[in-house]
Structure 1
Amino acid sequence: MQLNLRPARALAALSATALLGATFAACGSEDDGKAGKEKTTAAACEPATPALPAAAPVAAFDPASKTRSFEADNGTVEIPTDPQRIVATGYAVPVLLEADADVVGISEWGRGTALMTDEDLADYQALKKVAGETAASTDYEAIANLKPDLIMLGVPLPVLGDVDLKRLESIAPVVVLGPDRPDGWKNLSARQADAAGVVDYYEAAKASYDAKAAALTEKYAKVLGEHCFGHVGAYGDVSAGNFNREYAGAWGTNIATDVGATYYGGPVEPGKGSAAFSEYPSIEELPQSLADADVITYTVDDEGKPSESVQYVLDHDLWKTLPAVRDGAVIPLRYTEAATYPTAERALDEIDRAFAEAFADELK
């Protein structure tokens, strides 16, 4: 391995709550919990995280009809066959902007602006904002004034209690399409594109991403299979003296796994939502948590700088005792919060650059 730790200054800790709430609803099984308590060795480097469910097929409908039945997280909803005035919030925002859907209003999506194209960023800035960074900030009057024919809430169901759904339904049909797990964006964008009538965008975007991921999987096939990966996520709490350990399927890992990186193990006590994919051990548990990782990746922001919580780990004396750190096998990853296929392609480019440098000797 050739990679050395990158110097970085401490930044404000990243919020663990994504736009309009990032409380995920996936559940770990009792067997997952037992598996997490067993020591995983590098010789048996396997993720404990369940695979992403297959995407639901796009609903068939009659193009001549003015409405169709759509299965959303909030039940079966009659929506326009060809919506012309869409209000989108949360995870629906970047998908519909990229797809050039007929959007008239959106919520804030500050976490994704650095990954937007110039054209999408211009559209994002120009569109009327009907909510801030939380579901509770929804401006119902602003939505009503836009006269939408479809309202798409890209929020997880646990956050839906912060929204007056009946009031929104009095304005226009409402479909709730939110993630139930960090890597859920991969299937979620298919449903969002379907509801907005822009399925062609999704199919092309997914095909492009899959092709790039497959090419990188082939490029690194002989290298990555030799290594067990661990990941330090961005959502630790310095004041609590803990760090964020992420496993397969989490924000920091879900794109790297698509090129063959294996993040072993799982939370000791898996819970609902993101707790099925990540945990917050005390910093004293760092050596035990990452002892079997011979490669460690960690999340950095769009400028390549660690958050305060990640920097806390990198600066700690216990960090220097880890085998991967002693070997220089530590890799920062950018764009880990990509939540659409085009932005995830940028994350793949970053992974390619980082892996090419880190595994240069092994690729010869």
Structure 2
Amino acid sequence: MPSEPPTPHTPSATTPLRPRSRHALSAVAAAALALVLAACGSTDSGSGSSDGSGKAATRVVATAHGKVTVPAHPLRIVSVHSWSTETLLDLGVKPVGVENSGETYVPPRYLKSWKAAPKVTTGADLDYEKIAELKPDLIVGVDVPYLSKDYKKLSAIAPTAFAPFSETDDWTAYPDATARFVNRTTQMAALKKKYEDRIAAVRESDGAELAHSHWDVIQGGFDNGNYWIYSTASPVGTILTRLGAGFASATTSVAKGNTESVSYERADLLKDADHVIYYTNNDGSPANNIQKLFALQAFKELPAAKKKQVVGTADFLPGSYEDALGVIDSVHEALREQAG
């Protein structure tokens, strides 16, 4: 899911905007880490199928850091990024270690599996000792800045494959890359078909309503007193476009790849939206202080609010095909409630 958290006035539409913390390793932990890395660098993971010579079979995959040799059939995978974790779970792969970006932000469908897996990060900080203890034969993630800078340390523990990170809004690149890394492209093709079939079904059932609807895409901000408006090319915007939806002026005014931070007092910017879609926590509660906007009388007077067409989704920052399906379901259910 993300790059480093944006600075208060430069939020990134491609960033899962979740609180993160940074803590330096202590001198003792750093010394212990050096010993662990040295030991791990000299051991064979021993996973994958044999090629007859006693060595594990391998494959070469293209990654953000060039070509990397990985096990043909990795058995002990550590994921250091939520987008990678979600796709692994979609593919039926249980990672032996996962990132910890905050329980409240984990979409409900992944929560049980995520809770059961050992955590290898605290916020944006990697726990190298924990990762090494898990004896991974493959480490996967996305090449966001806070992970990219530590790529060499991770590679000393096990083969590390990062999906290239882009400031564009194409979320599909991340699950596609993860599937290649773990040799599950057949399963990924099935997920893509499921997604395309669901797009077609909702366009068939809700096409008329979507064609005449105008949506604004927003999220509560970590900026003091501000919320964020996303562009039509944001992940949710892209899915809405595939469904045949139109957009209101607040979202159409934001340039591709950008997010506009505006004061909560500017609820009026959403005045021509038939629907407003926003980010929720996994329990359905508003995420990232957006409730401050909803509490304002100016927001309550908006057409979307009056008609109860304010749509929340825990899948607002999709990093997997099941996330994207969750967005589609949220839109479909909202339209069904409106029609009913």
Is the pair's TM-score, using the shorter chain for normalization, greater than 0.5? yes
Contact between 2:219 and 2:288, CA under 8 Å: does it hold in 1? no
Aligned length: 293
State how far apart, in whole Å, the 1-side matches of 2:206 and 2:254 are.
32
Indicate yes or no: 2:302 matched with 1:356. Answer: no
State how far apart, in whole Å, the 2-side matches of 1:127 and 1:312 are.
34
Query: Structure 1 106/309 Cα, relative in aligned 2: closer, same or farther at 3 Å?
Result: closer
Residue of structure 2 in register with 1:276 after alignment: 257
What amino acid is aligned across from residue 143 of structure 1 in structure 2? I
Which digits, 9 at most, give the CA deviation of each residue in 1:26-65, with x for residues without a partner?
A: 89xxxxxxxxxxxxxxxxxxxxxxxxxxxxxxxxxxx979
State how far apart, in whole Å, the 2-side matches of 1:312 and 1:182 are.
29
Residue of structure 2 in register with 1:127 after alignment: 117
Question: Higher RCO, 1 or 2 (CA under 8 Å, sep at least 6)?
Answer: 1
State how far apart, in whole Å, the 2-side matches of 1:107 and 1:246 are.
26
Residue of structure 1 in register with 2:95 after alignment: 103
Which digits, 9 at most, give the CA deviation of each residue in 1:254-276, with x for residues without a partner?
A: 44443222235557675xxxx82
Once the two structures are overlaid, the 10-residue window that deviates more, 332-341 or 104-113, is 104-113
Indicate yes or no: 2:213 matched with 1:223. Answer: no
Q: How far is 1:112 from its partner?
A: 5.4
Give the one of 323, 330, 334 matched to 2:313.
334
What amino acid is aligned across from residue 108 of structure 1 in structure 2? N
Give the alignment's TM-score, normalised by structure 1.
Answer: 0.69
Query: Structure 1 79/281 Cα, relative in aligned 2: closer, same or farther at 3 Å?
Result: same
Residue of structure 1 in register with 2:191 after alignment: 205
Equivalences for 1:255-334 in 2 at 5 Å?
255-264=239-248, 270=255, 276-287=257-268, 289-307=269-287, 309-325=289-305, 328=307, 330-334=309-313
Unmatched tracts of structure 1, length 5 or more: 1-17, 28-62
Query: Structure 1 125/182 Cα, relative in aligned 2: closer, same or farther at 3 Å?
Result: farther
Once the two structures are overlaid, the 10-residue window that deviates more, 101-110 or 84-93, is 101-110
Indicate yes or no: 2:132 matched with 1:141. Answer: no
Compute the RMSD of aligned alpha carbons: 3.3
Give the one of 239, 245, 251 matched to 2:229.
245
Residue of structure 2 in register with 1:93 after alignment: 85
What amino acid is aligned across from residue 298 of structure 1 in structure 2? Y
Unmatched tracts of structure 2, length 5 or more: 15-49
Equivalent position SS for 1:212 = helix
Identity of counterpart residues, as a percentage? 25
Give the one of 80, 101, 115 matched to 2:108.
115
Once the two structures are overlaid, the 10-residue window that deviates more, 347-356 or 258-267, is 258-267
Equivalent position SS for 2:97 = strand
Residue of structure 1 in register with 2:174 after alignment: 188
Q: How far is 1:305 from its partner?
A: 2.6
Once the two structures are overlaid, the 10-residue window that deviates more, 291-300 or 83-92, is 291-300
Give the one of 218, 221, 224 matched to 1:232.
218
State how far apart, in whole Å, the 1-side matches of 2:158 and 2:272 are.
53
Contact between 1:236 and 1:244, CA under 8 Å: does it hold in 2? no
Equivalent position SS for 1:76 = strand
Contact between 2:63 and 2:164, CA under 8 Å: does it hold in 1? no
Indicate yes or no: 2:60 matched with 1:73. Answer: no
